[in-house]
């Protein structure tokens, strides 16, 4: 499946965006395609959590169930620098 054919794509971003100097490019993709994005706790605030497309943190005992639903029901999870 292609990203543009997806009905509910979502992006998971990770700390390695900074390591590979790809943070700006990732944020540009998210904004241009108007994609929702989430992080896990260890990658918290890699992109500003006040960003309009940020949906929250995914994983752990204090998981936000709405975020979990978005991620787990997505037909296209785009993993950017997240292992």
Residue 1 pLDDT: 64
In total, how many domains does the chain have?
1
Q: What confidence tens digit (pLDDT) does each residue in 28-77 have?
A: 999 999 999 999 888 888 999 999 999 999 986 667 889 999 999 999 99
Q: How many CB atoms lie within 10 A of CB 78?
A: 19
Asked if residues 1 and 67 have their Cβ atoms less than 8 Å apart, the reply is no
Q: Is the pTM of this model over 0.85?
A: yes
Where residue 43 sits, what CATH number does that domain have?
A: 3.40.50.1220
Residue that wins the pLDDT comparison between 82 and 13: 13
């Amino acid at each position: 499946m292609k990203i543009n054919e997806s009905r509910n794509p979502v992006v998971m971003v990770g700390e390695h965006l900074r390591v590979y100097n790809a943070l700006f490019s990732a944020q540009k993709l998210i904004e241009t395609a108007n994609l929702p994005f989430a992080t896990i706790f260890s990658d918290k605030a890699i992109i500003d959590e006040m960003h309009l497309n940020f949906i929250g943190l995914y994983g752990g005992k204090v998981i936000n169930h709405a975020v979990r639903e978005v991620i787990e029901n997505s037909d296209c999870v785009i993993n950017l620098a997240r292992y």
